[in-house]
Every structure is written in structure tokens, then in C-alpha cells.
Amino acid sequence: MTVFLNHFSLAAAGFSIAASMLLLFQKRAESRTAKYFSSLLLVVLIVIQLFHVSIITQFISMEQNHFLQVITFCYLCSLGLVGPAFYLYCQFILYSDKEWAVQDLVHFLPVTIISSLGFFFTEYFNALYSLLFLLGGLYMGMLAALIFRLRERRTLFKMEFAFTVIFLGWSAAVVFVGFFSSQTIELLIPVQTIMLSLSVAGAIYIQLNYPHLLSSLEEISNRQYQTSTLLNIDCDATKEKLEQLMSDRKVYQDNELSLSLTAEMLSLKAHQLSELINTQLNMSFSSYLRLQRVKAAEKLLLMEPTVSVLAVGLSVGFSSQSAFYSAFKEVHELAPGQYRRIKLAE
């Protein structure tokens, strides 16, 4: 059983490392700080899986090793960074107006302390390993509280709550086993490897099936205004500037364009632009942006019939084929290729 588990976990680790590297270089419509944290999170996941592969194959030993102190510190540090990095990443996604502050560094202090203890007291590795999962569970709890504050729209966050519950349950199991059974904890590393691989697979599934999820989450959090934020804004003039950005400068062609970046171009806050489009155009920013891209794609599909559908989608700002097809069907209830054939045959 152990041999099968080890082989399966090695295969899962290989998949997650390759997939994480692809995600690392993928272009996403996020704020600059959110990108830093998503990149940090992916790099940390790759490092953790490389450690797991080395431990499972016994390339490195956690018992007798001249570099045991350094290995223990690096592994515990990588493991501990997952919780605060994921929490901060979600914060910068949900609140695009939030800016990086020096105070945010305090989130990495517990990880540094626990990892340093691992460097000086390697014999307490199991307890420190479990303590880091307890820390991760606390961050998942904080994230759940953050999402709960958006409870009026919480139906859109079922996946996040499910992930939180699963992680909290797993953290509790690791803490219990780590403190009360030094033998069983050895089985947790291959199981943890598989769970991390499933998390990466889940991220890829969301990217393919819900390509507009991140922009929708960002906008939902910015739409929680109880009083208007546009009292000192000339809405008509701003709306005209927005239309010029789209028609003249064709900013929609930037596949990294986001609510916060567009608001910055208009000298607005993200929540102000969100309210403006929502109240003046009766749609969300993400819907508005997709519509601009689809309109541009409509023209290119007919003006350049020899150009591939994918090339058209990428040229108007969609980051992937799935995102292009999803948005186009949302407007026309037809795939782009079908639309082109029907229109050219008329």
C-alpha cells in the first residue's frame, strides 16, 4: 500500500510541478501586487513538491544528513508561506484598491520563527510541521471570515467555502497526528503531495471553465457601496472618456486589463468605476469589457476570414480560447466559427 501511495504521489507531484510552471507564466488580469503573491504562491508550491519528491525517493533524508538543519529550515519555511501568501493574494483580489503596506510583513513573522526553531531544534520537526498546518488553518479561518463579510453575495463563493472546510479538516488531522504519532506522520507527506496536486488541478479547472471568475470577484467586492461614490464625478464626461479608451486607444486589446487598471486611466478608484458602469450602463465591468472585445472580434472575423478564430480572439484581448468562446457564446449563443460561417454565407 505504501509503495503504491509513493508511486502515485510521485506522478501527482510531476503533474503539479509542470502545471504550476505553466500557471506561473500565464498572463492574468490582476493587480501588480496580486501577481506578485500568486507568483510567490506558485513558486512555493513547486519548491514544496520538489522537497516531497526528494523525501519520498529518499534522495534526501530527514534523519541523518549533514545539511539537515538547512533542509529543515527551507522545507518548513516553504510550507509555512502557503497560508499567508494565499490569504494576502485573496485580499488583493477581493479588494483591488488595497495597497501593499509594510505592516503586511507581520504575516510572515510566525513562519520565520517556526522555521528558525526547526533549524536549531531538528528533533522537533514533527511538532513544528504540525504547528505550521495549525497556522495555515488559522489563515483559512481568516479567509472564511473575509469572504463571509461578502455574505449578501456568498452564493458565488461556494468553491472558496468548500476549499476552506477541506483545508481546515486536513489541518486538524495533521496537527492531531503530528503531535500524537511520530510514525504515522511519514504517510502524510505523500498524501499531502497528492492534495497539493489536486489543488493545482482545481486551479486549472477553474481557469478553463470559469475564465472570468477573478475579475467577477474583484468587481463584486468593489460593488458594496451603500451610498454613491460618484457625487463629485462628472458621469457623462467620464463615460465618454471610457468610450474613447475603448474605441480610440483600444485598451481592451490588453489581456491583462483589469477594473483597477482601467479606473487608474480615468483617475478613478476601482469602486467608483464599478459603480459608474453598473448604474450608467446596467452591467458589470467584466461584462462591459467582454462586450467590447466581442464587438471587435465580430468585425475581424468577417474582415479577415482567413485568420484563425483563436488568433482573432487573442488579438482583441482574450487570454485563451476558452475565455473567447465563453464570452462570444454569451453574446451570440454561437461559437465564433459558426458566427463567421453564417455571416459570410448571407
**Cell for 103?**
505592516
Residue 97: closest CA among 163, 172, 34: 34
Burial class from Cβ neighbours inside 10 Å (0-12, 13-18, 19+) for residue 169 reads exposed
User: What pLDDT is stored for residue 93 in this prediction?
Assistant: 72
**pLDDT at residue 286 above 50?**
yes
Mean pLDDT of the chain: 79
Phi, psi of 345 (to 5 degrees): -85, -15
Residue 97 has pLDDT above 70, yes or no: no
- CA angle 294–295–297, rounded 5-degree value: 60
> What number is the average pLDDT over the span 57-68?
72
- φ, ψ of residue 307 to 5 degrees: the values are -80, 140
100 pLDDT tier (thresholds 50, 70, 90)? confident
280 contacts 342 by C-beta, under 8 angstroms: no
User: How many CB atoms are located within 10 Å of the residue 63 CB?
Assistant: 7
Chain-centre distance for alpha carbon 325: 21
Which pLDDT band, with edges at 50, 70 and 90, does 155 fall under?
very low
The superfamily CATH assigns to domain 218-345 is Homeodomain-like (1.10.10.60)
The predicted model gives 180-186 an average pLDDT of 57
Select the more confidently predicted residue: 330 or 225. Answer: 330
Q: Which pLDDT belongs to residue 154?
A: 44
* CB-based burial label for 72 (10 Å; 0-12, 13-18, 19+): buried
Residue 326 — φ and ψ, nearest 5°? Answer: -60, -45
Q: What's residue 163's pLDDT?
A: 58
Dihedral sign for Cα atoms in the order 92, 96, 102, 106: negative
Q: Are 325 and 335 in contact (CB under 8 A)?
A: yes
Residue with cell 488580469: 29
**Which is more confidently placed, 92 or 263?**
263
On the question of pLDDT at 77 being above 90, the answer is yes
Higher pLDDT, 218 or 154: 218
Q: Average pLDDT for residues 212-223, to the nearest whole number?
A: 54
Banded model confidence at residue 153, pLDDT cuts 50, 70, 90 = very low
Distance, CA of 293 to CA of 281 (rounded, Å): 16
Q: Which residues of 245-275 are buried (b: 16+ CB within 10 A; e: fewer)?
A: bbeeeebbbebebbbbbbbeebebbbbbbbb
Measure the CA–CA gap between 30 and 124, rounded to whole angstroms.
40
Q: In which residue are the cell numbers 455571416 written?
A: 343
Q: What's the confidence (pLDDT) of residue 156? A: 45
Q: Which residue has the higher pLDDT, 40 or 147?
A: 40
**Residue 149: pLDDT band with limits 50, 70, 90:** low
Nearest to 139 by CA among 93, 171, 117, 162: 171
CB contact at 8 A, 24 and 42: yes
pLDDT score of 116: 94
